[in-house]
Chain A
């Protein structure tokens, strides 16, 4: 039951994030803004994978609740990401429940692709393409796989935290994340990824 597969990217900020959250709980408003800037990208990416275009609105709702209940939270930086993801997920599910009664526009907004900033042409093109395509592919996954992949890769939660957010057993979430990633890799036609198929069920990490 190790946590060897946990994402590395978001972990780098956990110490800083934990300190900011602690200061925010003491009333420091600048620290809360700093925590927001550290958490929001992953949170928004997760929400975009669930509710698509409405991710910004749902995230905004979620942050209202986060700001209100911040005093209740206990934990470190990684815990804060899990806590905020749980709140965001509840808001997203509420949103989907409301949306179920009426059809919504399926297309992703165009301005998602219009990334500002001075980047090299190659990177800009690659990331623009990848964002669009990766989002579409992730949203094409079954819900449990998509959420598991997003929580682990985009939000940066470890297996236990992701399982707690989703209210499932850690093993089930790991399996879902693995299958989702495998399927994405196959669809992206990445070489070498599809070779690890036999490890899918036997993997214990």
Chain B
């Protein structure tokens, strides 16, 4: 403190001959603090950056930079004191992203709601009394045949969305594992994969025959696998499971139903998809009602 005062006194004394008042009559004559800041910025930044001194220091700094870069020091980990990203900017960016997400979601749900309005309108034409919104576009033949099983099937299908997506390759892989296990039902039978396999085959006692079909035709992965293996056994025994509420049975049934050309299978598939769409659109409608 006293040291600095000495500095100032010495400097002032030394330079007193050159009109200290010149500063006051110069740049800060605008008369506000900004003028003073501008003057200080110009005055204190300018000196010492002459070509000679600046370039020497610059060369030294660049040499150090080169050495550090070549030594691999620039891949060092960022410490907390090296992180000068602005917190406010990060927060603002995140909130912007959240806003956009909400906007996109509301647009998507709004679209579903509009589609649902059209669906409900068309369902009045059918006029099927029991489930007007659940199966509006299902063919009459399908609605007649499975009026009792249908309410359970869409619910269970939604509860296990991964089921219908099981591909022939996955089934073949499960079968391979089953055969390696010696065809016995041990602890492995408790796993979800086994339960899916059993469901796909239509029963534990059907697994061996089912897998024999699958592995025999596993190499062409699409189309032929389903077509060859599904008729008969799978469908016949899976139906009761679906009615009984077993999720795996209903799920695999839906998948295989697509491969068949029977009217019942198609009817079920459409009924399920319509039921899902309506379920979402109902939610969207209630959500939209709250929002507006």
Contacts and interface: CB of A to CB of B under 8 A. Distances in A.
Given A115-B47, A134-B40, A36 B61 contact: yes
B36 A129 contact: no
Contact of B49 (A41, A69, A136): A41
B60 A60 contact: yes
A181 B39 CA distance: 12
B28 A188 contact: yes
Nearest to A64: B64
Contact of B22 (A9, A32, A69, A125): A125
Contact of A56 (B21, B57, B66): B57
Given A154-B44, A190-B24, A136 B12 contact: yes
Contacts of A143: 1
Contact of A7 (B37, B58, B73): B37
B44 A150 contact: yes
B15 A132 contact: yes
Contacts of A137: 8
Interface stretch (B75-83, B111-119, B203-211, B273-281): B75-83
Interface string A61-76: 0011011111111111
Contacts of B12: 133, 136
B191 interface: no
Interface string A107-141: 11000110111000000011111111111111111
A29 B77 contact: no
A64 to B, nearest CB: 5
A130 B53 contact: no
B290 interface: no
Given A106-B3, A130-B23, A40 B58 contact: yes
Contacts of A67: 61-62, 64-65, 67-68
Contacts of B53: 56
B45 A45 contact: yes
B76 A71 contact: yes
A42 interface: yes
A160 B168 CA distance: 60
Contacts of A82: 84
Nearest to A190: B28
B84 A126 contact: no
B74 A86 contact: no
Given A60-B60, A188-B24, A41 B74 contact: no
Interface residues of A, number: 88
A153 interface: yes
Contacts of B47: 112-113, 115, 131
B236 to A, nearest CB: 64
Contact of A72 (B27, B76, B85): B76
A37 interface: yes
Given A41-B46, A75-B85, A115-B47, A140 B41 contact: no
Given A83-B82, A154-B40, A106 B68 contact: no
Given A40-B58, A48-B48, A156 B23 contact: no
A154 B14 contact: no
B68 A68 contact: yes
Given A29-B65, A36-B62, A129-B20, A9 B44 contact: no
B177 to A, nearest CB: 48
A159 interface: no
B23 A126 contact: yes
Contact of A29 (B6, B39, B66, B82): B66
Nearest to A161: B84
Interface in B1-58: 1, 3-8, 10-12, 14-15, 18-24, 26-29, 31-33, 35-51, 53-54, 57-58
Nearest to B72: A71
Contact of B85 (A24, A32, A76): A76
Q: Which 8 A-B pairs rank lowest in CB-CB distance, beginning with the nearest?
A: A79-B84, A71-B74, A75-B84, A192-B31, A67-B64, A67-B65, A63-B61, A140-B8
Interface of A: 7, 9-10, 24-25, 27, 29, 32-33, 36-37, 40-42, 44-45, 48-49, 52, 55-56, 59-60, 63-64, 66-76, 78-80, 82-83, 86, 106-108, 112-113, 115-117, 125-143, 149-150, 152-154, 156, 160-161, 181-182, 184-185, 188-193, 196
Given A37-B54, A73-B82, A133-B11, 8 more contacts: A45-B45, A45-B48, A64-B64, A67-B67, A126-B26, A129-B23, A130-B23, A153-B44
